[in-house]
Amino acid sequence: MDYKKIIAAAVFAATDAALNEEEIYRLLEVPKQENLGDYAFPAFALAKTFHKNPAVIAEELATKVKSDYFDHVEAVGPYLNFFLSKNVVSNEVIKQVLNEGADYGYFDEGHNGNVPIDMSSPNIAKPMSMGHLRSTVIGNAVANILAKRGYHPIKDNHLGDWGTQFGKLITAYKLWGNEEDVKKDPIKNLVAYYVKFHEEDVEHPELDDEARLWFKKLEDGDEEAHRLWKWFSEVSLKEFQRVYDILDIQFDIYNGEAFYNDKLDEVVELLKQKNLLEESEGAQIVRLDEYNLSPAVILKSDGASLYITRDLATAIYREREFDFAKNLYVVGSEQTHYFKQVQAVLLKMGFESAKEMHHIPFGLITVNGKKLSTRSGRIILLEEVLNDSMDLALKMIEAKNPALPNKEQVAREVGVGAVVFNDLKNERILAEDFNLEEILKFEGDTGPYVQYTHARGQSILRKAQELAITGSDYALDDANAWVVVKQLEKFPEIVKEANDRFEPSVIAKYTLKLSQAFNRYYGNSKILADDGGIHARLGLVQATATVLKESLRLLGIKAPEQM
């Protein structure tokens, strides 16, 4: 039930249609102080129509606006403040959550429209470091939220399996590599070769020329270059899968950059047909002056492709293959200008679908204030961080609740959930500094705090099973319960906002507010007291646990039953 619509209809009826209901709806506010009601309508908007002081208009309307959903309406200065009926609204909201269960908050906005999501996208022959966490978990949460709004997300792990870095890696392997070492510990040794290349090319810039030559050989189908590339790719994918298994994240397709290698000629040909290509210092470029963007370099002077060549082919393929409703790219904010170039080139080529291309940027992740970099050797492996988090969670459980059943599984869910929640709780554009011990605390703005709140609710419900409680009325007029009810009522709106903004932090912040409200209620109420209100109180507990579990699921986090 949208209670703002009820208020808008009541105001509309009382003001002789001075404003339409949609206009009134948009003007409604939530007062900053709870003692000022649940919603407020600013009477300023009617001053010109009625030629009266807004405060006088509010006073007059306070006696005219009526609804069974209102406990009372009062004028406070120029505002008309609405106090919803706690009994009526709590009964409706709790019933709706319990009836709909995990489907609460679902809305078929997307009509099953396809939405490819370019996410995670680690580079072959490099480990998955903490730097890969953000694209992976943000993309996964965005996909879950889109599905909740009726879209069909298609998670595409657009692997970095092509490009000049392979020329560098092949060069390094040829100079310093050893097949047996790579077989024993593939990623560790391949990264060591890559780092050594960047150390050596400072004094020996001719290494860059050799790397470019090897990549050109790879593009031209050279047998040795292709054999090494395929080998590096296979061992890397095995390493990546272990991390994805820990995170419990699956992908629909793994179309890496190499997948589009045979589609690049068409891109170049289409650009030529549109007379968009021109030569600049030997390279082929597309000018984007009308978009206030720098020229997009499509082919280098040696004829080799670039990232943008392959991303143009990717976008065209996705339009043809999926007829997408939206085309999303979860990539760091440092690539914002680049994705504007990709979109602009597509629009100049005549691909109107590019209007639904959205770059979902995010800030850097640092560990103890230091930026991560593969080429400089400053790597913190994501798998190691996840394992450390799970180990620390297990130690905490053994110290606080050693008799907990399935404590290893709970530690896994808490440890992984803590890492994911910490990443998603702040707006994605902000940088994130990672501190393992802070994120695993069971109080404060953490994933374990939300998970523990859910587990607390489940504990109450398990105790209540012995009481054989029945009833059909969920009316509550307790002030602390009311705060929880209002949070529950907001959930569908929260999902919509998170979807509209591609912003999982909206849901993460919501879970913290709901948890805080519930824990205040828990601390001030005798939920299991054997009186006439126990059925309604347990309904509120169950509704809260349901919404917390679903909120965590949307973020890609498990909700343990016990902790």
pLDDT digits (tens, 9 = 90+) for 47-94: 989 999 999 999 999 999 999 999 999 999 999 999 999 999 999 999
Answer with the residue of higher pLDDT: 337 or 374. 337
Start-to-end CA span in the chain (Å) = 34
pLDDT the model gives residue 184: 87
Phi, psi of 305 (to 5 degrees): -80, 170
Note if the pTM is more than 0.85: yes
Domain spanning 3-84 has what CATH number? 3.30.1360.70
For tokens 């209670």, the residue is: 3
Helix, strand, or coil here: 258? helix
pLDDT the model gives residue 513: 98
Of residues 388, 375, 395, 374, the one with CA closest to residue 434: 388
pLDDT band at 370 (very low <50, low <70, confident <90, very high): low
pLDDT above 90 coverage of the chain, percent: 82
Res 281 pLDDT > 80: yes
Helix, strand, or coil here: 373? strand
| Cα separations in angstroms, 390 against 86, 130, 272, 409, 521 | 42, 16, 54, 9, 30
The amino acid sitting at 331 is V
pLDDT the model gives residue 432: 83
For the chain, the average pLDDT equals: 93
Least confident interval from 53-57, 166-170, 201-205, 365-369: 365-369
pLDDT the model gives residue 434: 84
pLDDT band at 136 (very low <50, low <70, confident <90, very high): very high
* Helix H or strand E encompassing 168: helix 164-176
How many Cβ atoms from other residues are within 10 Å of residue 263's Cβ?
15
The ranges assigned to domains in the chain are: 3-84, 399-555
Cα torsion angle, 266, 233, 216, 194, sign: positive
Residues paired with 253 in a beta bridge? 156
Count helices and strands (H / E) in the chain: 21, 13
Residue range 163-191: mean pLDDT, rounded: 91
pLDDT the model gives residue 216: 86
Domain spanning 399-555 has what CATH number? 1.10.730.10
Q: For 302-322, what is each residue's pLDDT tens digit?
A: 887 888 999 999 999 999 999
Contacts of 242 (CB under 8 A, 6+ apart): 383
pLDDT band at 372 (very low <50, low <70, confident <90, very high): low
Res 468 pLDDT > 80: no
Residues paired with 284 in a beta bridge? 279, 299
Res 300 pLDDT > 70: yes
171-209 core/surface letters (b: 16 or more CB in 10 A; e: else): bbbeeebeeeebeeebbebbbbbbbebbeebeeeeebee
E-strand stretches of 326-444: 327-330, 357-360, 365-367, 370-371, 432-434
pLDDT band at 378 (very low <50, low <70, confident <90, very high): low
Is residue 485 packed enough to be buried (19+ CB in 10 Å), middle (13-18) or exposed (0-12)? buried
User: Would the CATH topology of 3-84 be identical to that of 399-555?
Assistant: no
Contacts of 183 (CB under 8 A, 6+ apart): none
Res 247 pLDDT > 60: yes
